[in-house]
Amino acid sequence: MNEIPPLASLCDPSAPLEDGHGRTVRYIRLSVTDRCNLRCTYCRSGMETFIPHESVLRYEEMEQLVDMAMDMGVEKVRLTGGEPFARKGFVGFLERLRAAHPTLDIRITTNGTLVGPHVSELKAIGLNAVNLSLDTFDRAKFERVTGRDLFARVRESMDALLDAGIPLKLNAVAMRGFNDDELPAFINYAMTHPVDVRFIEFMPMGEGTRWSDACFWSAPDILTAVKEFVSVEPVAHEQRNGGPARLYTLSGPSGPGLGRLGLITPLSSHFCAACNRLRITSDGALRTCLFDDKEYRLRNALRHPKLGIEAVRRIVALATRAKPIGARILERRHDAVAQRRMTAIGG
Ligand code: SAM
């Protein structure tokens, strides 16, 4: 049974965004585009239709949404996609966000292929962190999985971000038969760089993305395999900053690692109790849970001459009250964990 949801957020426009399960939203993931310059075989079918340009939120509209979210207690925004740097004007958008909100925690999730030329601008903006997706340390495999020979560019971006002192996390989708044989390379990177190297369990997403049970490499299995190479020590929950990753410090024959191992386990062990996030797709749909296909159309309200941002605020507050426990939705699903593909939802 749901607890009775708080009403404060509906009556008071600046009340915190509380849901019916005692969770408070502090974090928005905003997808700036559903387009991507990579063709990752597990993420995109190659048959997908893209959101028409006129339906994609304009940057000014995203800025309005972030202003509103901050009024409602949001402290952190992650810009994602698709590939955020593939959208024209993305860095200018970041500059305006930072100018409007000096204290906002602004992070980006990127494939790293287009970041290199912008590192000094990102540093000047005071970007809080970059999560960079890299599933392999092998150039030929990178090209095979992404369809592009851009591994060297990604590695250069990683070095440039670290040289600039921008906090970096590495995200790899764990896939048996694809990158399980590269565990030593991932561990070596975490040992020698101050980077959290995080494996994300592969999820069956909708819209025809490729999935095979045989590829699933669970977090417990990854941890067992890691222990064959290094010793691991779990990081206490309160030191994880509320993130979804279970973190481990690493230690090898030459001493402790500079970075850590992270395991993100949406399937084998959920993290719903600590979930403090909402997602907004690039066409302005609010999703309160990755696994819930219910979407609230913010864009129509935002663009409506008689509604606008105040109506959006009420929709967001109401939707947040109904934010579900994703694990309960997952229990009832037998096919994909969500009907839209990751690039459309904003991974
Ligand atoms: N372009 C950016 C990037 O590459 O990080 C942001 C979007 S991308 C969709 C976000 C993340 O979702 C990537 O790390 C990608 O590997 C991951 N992803 C895509 N499909 C997935 C799936 N089926 N299961 C788990 N992670 C997935």
Question: Is residue 1 assigned to a domain?
Answer: no
Confidence of residue 270 (pLDDT cuts 50, 70, 90): confident
Residue whose CA lies nearest to ligand 1 atom number 20: 43
Question: Is residue 232 assigned to a domain?
Answer: yes
User: What pLDDT is recorded for position 322?
Assistant: 96
Question: Is residue 153 assigned to a domain?
Answer: yes
User: What pLDDT is recorded for position 75?
Assistant: 97
Question: Is residue 318 assigned to a domain?
Answer: yes
- The mean pLDDT of 20-31, rounded to a whole number, is 96
Question: Is residue 241 assigned to a domain?
Answer: yes
Q: Quick check: 9 pLDDT over 80?
A: no
How far, in Å, are 148, 222, 294 from residue 230 at the CA level? Answer: 33, 12, 43
User: What pLDDT is recorded for position 94?
Assistant: 98
- The mean pLDDT of 8-25, rounded to a whole number, is 80
Percent of the chain surpassing pLDDT 90:
76
CA–CA gap between residue 229 and residue 176 (Å, rounded): 18
Q: Quick check: 7 pLDDT over 60?
A: no
Domain of 268: which CATH number? 3.20.20.70
Report the separation in Å between the CA atom of 341 and the middle of ligand 1, taken as the mean of its atom positions. Answer: 10
Q: Quick check: 162 pLDDT over 80?
A: yes
Question: Is residue 227 assigned to a domain?
Answer: yes
- Residue pair 76/107 in contact (Cβ under 8 Å)? The answer is yes
Cβ atoms within 10 Å, residue 104: 18
Confidence of residue 333 (pLDDT cuts 50, 70, 90): confident
Report the separation in Å between the CA atom of 82 and the middle of ligand 1, taken as the mean of its atom positions. Answer: 8
Q: Quick one: which atom of ligand 1 is closest to the CA of 345?
A: 9
Question: Is residue 2 assigned to a domain?
Answer: no
User: What pLDDT is recorded for position 209?
Assistant: 56
Residue whose CA lies nearest to ligand 1 atom number 2: 110
Report the separation in Å between the CA atom of 219 and the middle of ligand 1, taken as the mean of its atom positions. Answer: 17
- Residue pair 109/80 in contact (Cβ under 8 Å)? The answer is yes
Report the separation in Å between the CA atom of 69 and the middle of ligand 1, taken as the mean of its atom positions. Answer: 24
Report the separation in Å between the CA atom of 268 and the middle of ligand 1, taken as the mean of its atom positions. Answer: 18
- Residue pair 190/260 in contact (Cβ under 8 Å)? The answer is yes
Q: Which domain holds residue 108?
A: 7-345
Percent of the chain surpassing pLDDT 70:
92
Q: Quick check: 246 pLDDT over 70?
A: yes
Number of structural domains (the chain) is 1
- Residue range 163-182, pLDDT digits in tens: 999 999 999 999 999 999 99
The more confident residue out of 208 and 147 is: 147
The mean of the pLDDT values for the chain is 91
Q: Quick check: 4 pLDDT over 80?
A: no
**pTM: predicted TM-score of the whole model, two decimal places:** 0.93
- Residue range 66-75, pLDDT digits in tens: 999 999 999 9
The more confident residue out of 205 and 294 is: 294
- Measured from CB, residues less than 6 Å from any atom of ligand 1 are 36, 42-43, 80-81, 83, 109-111, 133, 171, 173, 200, 202-203, 205, 209, 342-343, 347
- Name which of 133, 138, 233 is nearest 180 in CA terms: 138
